[in-house]
Amino acid sequence: MKIAVEGCCHGELDKIYDKLAELEERDNIKVDLLLCCGDFEALRNEVDLKCMAAPPKYRQMNTFYKYYSGEKKAPVLTIFIGGNHEASNHLWELYVMLL
């Protein structure tokens, strides 16, 4: 099993998945799992953006919402460990759904 580990993602899934594809092609491997550690920033919409625990100058939608909406599909199973700059309203909803 090949596991890729990424630091703070900051909602830039397109860039990360593009880089993974590049590495897979270069090294002739298939990554089975992506583990994102730190500021994942799973921002679905403007409400989440306003709830994000970060100064306004750092708040950007980036590309996570495309995967959340189904516009794009993650090419690899992706698990994240949130950091200190998350929209906790969204994460709390997920936690309650799992209970």
Average pLDDT taken over every residue of the chain: 89
Work out the pLDDT band at 99, boundaries 50, 70, 90: very low
Contact between 31 and 77 under an 8 Å Cβ cutoff? The reply is: no
Position 94 pLDDT exceeds 80: no
pLDDT in tens, 16-51: 999 999 999 999 999 999 999 989 998 999 988 888
Contact between 46 and 89 under an 8 Å Cβ cutoff? The reply is: no
Q: Which two tokens stand for residue 32?
A: 């089975």
Alpha carbon 28 to chain centroid distance? 24
Q: Which two tokens stand for residue 18?
A: 């593009």
Residue 45, phi then psi, degrees to nearest 5? -165, -175
Per cent of the chain over pLDDT 70 is 93
pLDDT at 95: 58
